[in-house]
């Protein structure tokens, strides 16, 4: 009997795509329910995407076109976006002809998911998911991320109390527990979620302990990166450039939001302006307020600093392969994929201890673990990374061994397969 898995997650996320791709060639029947309207990521393959509005009659499309040609144009584009890599796309329920089409697609109509203020778009809500589960009868539901996918699945399970519900594997991403447990409403919702799941997975040992402190009793699957591993052959080709001590680029993560603290990182950069002469500082994934600060550093500190615009994954890897150091500052994170990419490509990592970087680097030898609120210490560590050639060269070799042992996708793919081999026999 073919094993059937229903993923619930962000269909446009590269993390989602890379995880699913690890098991997309095993002959299992894979499905995904998006948590909001978005085109499927170009890397996603071998999975059926369930869209709630694709069952639309030509007469409805004609009506939309006659009322407003732009409506039909937007709808046609949405349909095209839903078919990358020849994905099979199915309808969960017809789209009712209510309200402007743009409002429906944007998910303006929404419903609450529990104690917190998180809401789900109406047509990607728990009732729609519960209906799909009843129709599809998957052997396993795998929610990837807590605050959207996890809360959504929890509510769908509550709506299905009178009917059997499949086994449920919940994967903790990034800040799902570490950050949100600090908010009473989220803490209640996370605690309820942990009491309802059948299996738990995450990418940090830290988060295993936090989940258990919040009442988790379900089996914990082996800790491993949520994005799968790296293509080592591709990484080796990119690593063939200059040694870290000869590189003249500093990479800085540019997120400034609920967790990211790029402005603190840039303050540290400013404090190191004297040793950064002759270096190029590249800020990636920059928030709007960060752009303004970058301009100030260029004008008033004379730094060669720029924003990396809309870089794809391959381009990012090339930058890391030419960078001496990487700086990521946040108040919450998990592994930090950027840090792992920096390690793989010889860029010396400086990462805040709000992540689980200590599970990957040796402080003072293969990287620095710093506090998000200590700009002087961050600057001091950046200064060392810029001036100590032996440190960055030695760290490159040690980090590469870590990557070979723990991030080779040829090793992680079988581990991902064993996830489901462990779970599915009990639900087939």
Give, in degrees to the nearest 5, the angle at Cα 164 between 161 and 165: 80
Tens of pLDDT along the chain (428 residues)?
789 999 999 999 999 999 999 999 999 999 999 999 888 998 899 999 998 754 444 454 445 445 555 544 444 444 333 333 335 555 444 333 333 444 445 445 688 999 999 999 988 999 999 999 999 999 999 999 999 999 999 999 999 988 899 999 999 998 899 999 999 999 999 999 999 999 999 999 999 999 999 999 999 999 999 888 999 999 999 998 899 999 999 999 999 988 889 999 999 999 999 999 999 999 999 989 999 999 999 999 999 999 998 878 889 999 999 999 999 999 988 889 999 999 999 999 999 999 999 999 999 999 999 999 999 999 999 999 999 999 999 999 999 999 999 999 999 999 999 989 999 865 44
pLDDT score for 53: 57
pLDDT the model gives residue 75: 44
Give the distance from CA 402 to its chain's centroid: 22
Which tokens sit at 193?
A: 């979620």
The C-alpha atoms of residue 31 and residue 37 are separated, in whole angstroms, by 16
Instruction: Report the C-alpha dihedral over residues 208, 214, 215, 218, rounded to 10 degrees.
Output: -30
Exposure class string for 9-27: b at 16+ Cβ within 10 A, else e: bbbbbbbbbbbbbbbbeee
Query: pTM for the whole thing?
Result: 0.86
* DSSP strand pairing (110-112 vs 119-121): antiparallel
Q: What is the CB-side half-sphere exposure of residue 12 using CA atoms within 13 A? A: 7
8 A C-beta contact, residue 145 and residue 118: no
CA nearest to 209, candidates 9, 359, 407: 359
Helices 288-300 and 262-271 pack at an angle, to 10 degrees, of: 10
């Amino acid at each position: 009997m073919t094993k059937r898995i229903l993923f619930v997650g962000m269909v446009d996320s590269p993390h989602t795509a890379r995880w699913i791709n690890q098991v997309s060639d095993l002959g299992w029947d894979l499905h995904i329910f998006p948590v909001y309207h978005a085109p499927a990521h170009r890397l996603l393959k071998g999975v059926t995407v369930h869209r709630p509005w694709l069952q639309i009659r030509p007469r409805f499309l004609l009506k939309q076109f006659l009322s407003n040609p732009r409506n039909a144009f937007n709808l046609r584009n949405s349909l095209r976006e839903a078919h990358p890599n020849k994905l099979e796309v199915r309808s969960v329920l017809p789209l009712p002809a209510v309200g402007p089409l743009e409002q429906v697609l944007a998910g303006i109509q929404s419903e609450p998911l529990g104690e917190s203020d998180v809401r789900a778009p109406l047509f990607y809500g728990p009732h729609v998911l519960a209906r799909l589960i009843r129709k599809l009868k998957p052997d396993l539901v795998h929610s990837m991320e807590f605050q959207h996918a996890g809360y959504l699945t929890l509510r769908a399970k509550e709506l299905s109390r009178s009917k059997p519900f499949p086994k449920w594997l919940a994967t903790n991403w990034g800040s799902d527990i570490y950050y949100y447990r600090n908010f009473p409403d989220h803490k209640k919702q996370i605690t309820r979620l942990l009491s309802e799941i059948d299996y738990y997975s995450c990418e940090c040992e830290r988060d295993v302990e936090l989940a258990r402190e919040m009442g988790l009793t379900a089996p914990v699957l082996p800790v491993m990166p949520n994005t799968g591993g790296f293509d080592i052959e591709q990484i080796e080709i990119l690593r063939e450039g200059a040694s870290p001590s000869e590189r003249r680029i500093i990479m800085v993560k540019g997120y400034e939001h609920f967790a990211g603290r790029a402005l603190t990182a840039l303050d540290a950069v400013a404090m190191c302006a004297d040793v950064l002469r002759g270096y190029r500082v590249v800020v990636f994934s920059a928030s709007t307020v960060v752009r303004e600060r970058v301009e100030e550093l260029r004008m008033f500190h004379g730094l060669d600093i720029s924003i990396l615009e809309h870089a794809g994954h391959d381009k990012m890897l090339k930058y890391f392969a030419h960078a001496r150091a990487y700086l990521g500052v946040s108040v919450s994170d998990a592994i930090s994929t950027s840090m792992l990419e920096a390690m793989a490509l010889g860029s010396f990592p400086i990462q805040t201890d709000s992540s689980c970087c200590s599970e990957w680097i040796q402080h003072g030898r293969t990287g620095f673990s710093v506090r998000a609120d200590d700009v002087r210490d961050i600057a001091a560590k950046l200064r060392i990374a810029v001036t100590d050639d032996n440190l960055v060269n030695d760290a490159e070799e040690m980090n590469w061994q870590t990557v070979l042992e723990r991030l080779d996708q040829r090793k992680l793919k079988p581990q991902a397969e064993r996830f489901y081999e462990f779970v599915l026999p009990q639900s087939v």
